[in-house]
Each structure stands twice: as structure tokens, then as C-alpha cells.
């Protein structure tokens, strides 16, 4: 009996000395990265949606060698800012994808033609500005009005880059199509939420106008009338935003065509 007891104690002692029982001495992720995505020409933030249709932020830790995979993607806030406060120390590549000329452009053979992503050594708290060239600019014209429970507003949509600039950047990637530049729709999002957008819209009141081919070209820079659908109850407060997009997906091949937005406005329904 004594031998069995001493044998068990010996086994426990042996196990306790192995790495299985060693304390985890890895530091918890505490590196913070804050940033903003801004128009390279004007310095204005790129307004976006808060979700997978918005601006995607991708970080890849380069410390692990050539076969490293990127960190989990995250997305910008509606005002074009982003934040991640749970990163490990390391050397990172930082890029963003959204309704703008891709920062990293490769041809059909995978050859890198241009790379405007950023590499940074992250070991504390950092701030970064990602400068991009948006496809479109969406602007309010005047103030919205309310009539019979409907919100009426006016917007203007213009190209934020010239057609030639777009072609110079995109055509070398291969399989260029002039239809990429076509404006396909204007969305009018209405919601109780101040983060109104595609992900936070009320389908009872939100509306859209769709355009075929290049039919919107003659409307570029012109005032477009928007109107909500249904009837919003009196005494409520809603938020509105407009968004428009072109016939080009980012990243290429994903099928995700991202909208350029204007700022949200508050509307009180009287």
C-alpha cells in the first residue's frame, strides 16, 4: 500500500515538472492601432457603412514568414475611422478595401503593379492615416423636409476621380470593362439608428433608385430627388443617409460593390 502511495506521489511530481503545468507567460494582446481612411485629394474621411459592405481593414503580421495568414478582418466605423486594441506586438502589413481605387493592384499573373499598403512595427499605441482615391462623392443639397410621414431630400453625385484616372489604375489589372464606371444605384437609407446605412436601415421606409448601363452619366453633378416610402409615425426621430456605387467590386472578384456615403442627418417627424 505504501509503495503504491509513494509511486503515485512520484508520478504527480514528475508531471508537475513538465511543460504541461508551466505558467503561460505570453503577454496578453494589448497593442492598439487607431486609424482613418481619407480622400488623398481632399483629406476628407471616406464615409462608409458599419458592416461587411463597408471599408474592410486587413492586418497581416509579417513576423511569421512568407506563409503567414492575415488576422481576422474588421471594419471601419461610419465616419471612416477604425480601431483595434487587441493586437500582439509585431511587424504588420496594413491595408484597406472599400469604394476606392485598390491600394494593392496586381495583374492577371499575380505580379504586383502597385502597393500603397503600409508596413508598421506595432508595439504600443499607434495612429495611422490611409489615403485613398474614392470612386464617388455623394453630397446633400439643402435640408430634408417631411410631408405626410415621408422624408424628402436632394443629393448630388459626382465622380471623385476622373474616368481616365480610374482607367489608368484599373485597366492594367486585366479584363477591363468600360461598364465598371457605370453608376448603378442611389440608396436612401432611413433608420431609428444614428449609424444608419445598409446594415442599419428600416426597410419600411428606405428606398432606392436603380440605373441601367451608363444612363446615370447625364445625371452626374445634377440634383437628384429622393423620397422615403411608407409612412413614418409622427413624433418619431429618424436618421437618413444617401449612398451610391459603381459597377466595380472591391476586392476584385468578390462580388461586393461598396457604396460611397454622405453624412447622416437627423430628421424629426412632426
For residues 234 and 150, is the Cβ–Cβ distance under 8 A?
Answer: no
- pLDDT classification of 66: cutoffs 50, 70, 90: low
Could you report the per-residue pLDDT of 134-188, keeping only the tens digit for each? 999 999 999 999 999 999 999 999 999 999 999 999 999 999 999 999 999 999 9
Please give the pLDDT value at position 69.
Answer: 80
Confidence check: pLDDT of 225 > 60: yes
Q: Give the tens place of pLDDT for each residue, 77-131.
A: 999 999 999 999 999 999 999 999 999 999 989 999 999 999 999 999 999 999 9
The predicted model gives 27-43 an average pLDDT of: 92
pLDDT tens readout for residues 180-210: 999 999 999 999 999 999 999 999 999 999 9
- Segment 61-68 shows an average pLDDT of 76
| Domain 31-132 matches domain 136-268 at the CATH topology level | yes
Q: Is residue 230 scored above 70 in pLDDT?
A: yes
The pLDDT-based confidence of 12 (bands split at 50, 70, 90) is very low
Give me the pLDDT at residue 20, please.
46
Query: Domain limits of the chain?
Result: 31-132, 136-268
The per-residue pLDDT for 67 is: 65
**Greater model confidence, 226 or 8:** 226
Mean residue pLDDT of the chain comes to 91
Instruction: Give tens-digit pLDDT for 238-257.
Output: 999 999 999 999 999 999 99
When pLDDT is cut at 50, 70 and 90, the band that residue 51 belongs to is: confident
Higher pLDDT, residue 72 or 14: 72
Give the model's pLDDT for residue 13. 43
| CATH number for the domain formed by residue range(s) 136-268 | 2.60.40.2060
More reliable by pLDDT, 191 or 19: 191
CATH of 31-132, one of 3.40.50.300, 3.30.420.40, 2.60.40.1120, 3.30.390.30: 2.60.40.1120
State mean pLDDT over 231-241: 97
**Where residue 25 falls among pLDDT bands split at 50, 70, 90?**
low
Amino acid at each position: 500500500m505504501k509503495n503504491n502511495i509513494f509511486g503515485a506521489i512520484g508520478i504527480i511530481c514528475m508531471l508537475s515538472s513538465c511543460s504541461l503545468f508551466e505558467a503561460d507567460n505570453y503577454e496578453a494582446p494589448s497593442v492598439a492601432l487607431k486609424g482613418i481612411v481619407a480622400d488623398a485629394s481632399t483629406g476628407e474621411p471616406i464615409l462608409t457603412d458599419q458592416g461587411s459592405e463597408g471599408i474592410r481593414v486587413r492586418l497581416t503580421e509579417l513576423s511569421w514568414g512568407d506563409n503567414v495568414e492575415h488576422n481576422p478582418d474588421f471594419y471601419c466605423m461610419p465616419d471612416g475611422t477604425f480601431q483595434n486594441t487587441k493586437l500582439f506586438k509585431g511587424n504588420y502589413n496594413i491595408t484597406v478595401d472599400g469604394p476606392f481605387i485598390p491600394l494593392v493592384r496586381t495583374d492577371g499573373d499575380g505580379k504586383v503593379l502597385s502597393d500603397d499598403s503600409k508596413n508598421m512595427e506595432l508595439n504600443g499605441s499607434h495612429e495611422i492615416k490611409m489615403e485613398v482615391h474614392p470612386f464617388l462623392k455623394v453630397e446633400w443639397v439643402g435640408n430634408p423636409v417631411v410631408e405626410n410621414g415621408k422624408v424628402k431630400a436632394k443629393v448630388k453625385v459626382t465622380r471623385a476621380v476622373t474616368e481616365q484616372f480610374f482607367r489608368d489604375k484599373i485597366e492594367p489589372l486585366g479584363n477591363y470593362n468600360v461598364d465598371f464606371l457605370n453608376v448603378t444605384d442611389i440608396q436612401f437609407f432611413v433608420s431609428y439608428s444614428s449609424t444608419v446605412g445598409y446594415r442599419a436601415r428600416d426597410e419600411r421606409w428606405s428606398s432606392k433608385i436603380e440605373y441601367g448601363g451608363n444612363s446615370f452619366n447625364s445625371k452626374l453633378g445634377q440634383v437628384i430627388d429622393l423620397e422615403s416610402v411608407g409612412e413614418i409615425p409622427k413624433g418619431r426621430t429618424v436618421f437618413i443617409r444617401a449612398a451610391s456605387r459603381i459597377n466595380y467590386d472591391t476586392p476584385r472578384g468578390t462580388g461586393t460593390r461598396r457604396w460611397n456615403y454622405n453624412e447622416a442627418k437627423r430628421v424629426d417627424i412632426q
